[in-house]
Structures are given as structure tokens and as C-alpha cells.
Amino acid sequence: MSLHADLLKQAYFLARKEPKKPVQVSLRRSVSASCYALFHLLVDEATKLMLSGNDRGPLRDNLARAFHHSAMKKIAVTLESTRALPAKLTSGLRHQQVQQPLIDVATAFIQLQEARHDADYNRAYRFIRKEAIDLADLTKQAFQNWKQVRGAPPAETFLIGPLVYGRLRG
């Protein structure tokens, strides 16, 4: 199984781990795993796009380390708010429309990233089981939405955006 699929499976497991009274650490780790599941799906897709071939796994693993949540969130926020990718990234798209499932992936990424920050850093916030399961469900839906747009030029632009956006001129 892939890392992103394992993380999603772990998110569900941790959300349901204690049947009667879930402990915060299980719910927090579940929320964090949901966020990382979507992040790693997108990173996996991006690195496979840039470096194809079965013998390229170690090189893809090195490239994956160049991706950062904050850069991906910046692209996602633009996509969610304008329903378009940042202008610096779209010169080769020839005005192709961004499909709704890609916008939904971006929206899910933003929500999951914000929830992960609460889970990892906001000790005053108390999660409930339903919230952790809802976030795992959101991740699962984002996986399905990604399958609908995978391979489309706007989706591929979204994948490489976090690596190139800050380096592009104009």
C-alpha cells in the first residue's frame, strides 16, 4: 500500500481506537494523519509526473523532500478563492477551465492543514470523534476528486506549483 493510503487508513483507525471515550492524542494524531495523507498523495503524484519510471523511486523520494505544506497551501488558497490557478503558473494552459473537483481538492487541503495546526499546536482545542472521522472522510473524498482530474493540465500545474511559483518571474 502507498504511504498516503496507509495514512488515511491510520486516520480512521485512530479516530475509532477507543470505542467508549476517545483520548485526545488519538483524535489529534488521526487529524494529523488525514492532512498528511492528502499532502503525500499530491507529492507522490507530483514526483511521478516529474520523474517517471520504476527505477526512479529513490530520486522521487529525494524530490519529495522539496515540497512544503505552506507553499502548497498558498497555491490552494488562490485556487479556492479565485477558482483559478495563480497567473504566473497558467501561461501554458491556454485558458483551460479549472474543474470543480480540483477546487474541491484545494479546499480540502486548506481545511485539513488548518485542522492539523490545531491538532499539533493548539493544546486548548478539544477534538471529538465525529470531527476526526469527518476529516478522514474529507480526505477520502479528496482522493476521489483527485482521480477525476488526474492528468489534466490544470491539475498537473497545481502539482508543480509549490515548487516553481516562488521562482517564476512576472
Task: Give the separation between CA 37 and CA 54, rounded to whole angstroms.
Answer: 22
Q: Let me know: does 116 contact 31? Beta carbons within 8 Å.
A: yes
Q: How far apart are CA 17 and CA 10, in angstroms?
A: 10
Res 61: pLDDT: 95
pLDDT at 168: 73
pLDDT at 169: 66
Residue positions counted in the chain: 170
Residue 170 banded pLDDT, cuts 50, 70, 90:
low
What CA–CA distance (Å, rounded) separates 74 from 96? 21
Tell me: the pLDDT tens digits for 34-72? Answer: 999 999 999 999 999 999 988 999 999 999 999 999 999
- The chain-wide mean pLDDT, for the chain, equals 94
Is it the case that residue 14 has pLDDT exceeding 70? yes
Q: Stretch 84-88: mean pLDDT, rounded?
A: 88
The pTM of this model reads: 0.95
**What pLDDT is stored for residue 96 in this prediction?**
81
* Residue whose entry in the numeric block shows the C-alpha cell 530520486: 59
90 pLDDT above the threshold of 90: no
Separation between Cα atoms, residue 137 and residue 9, nearest integer Å: 11
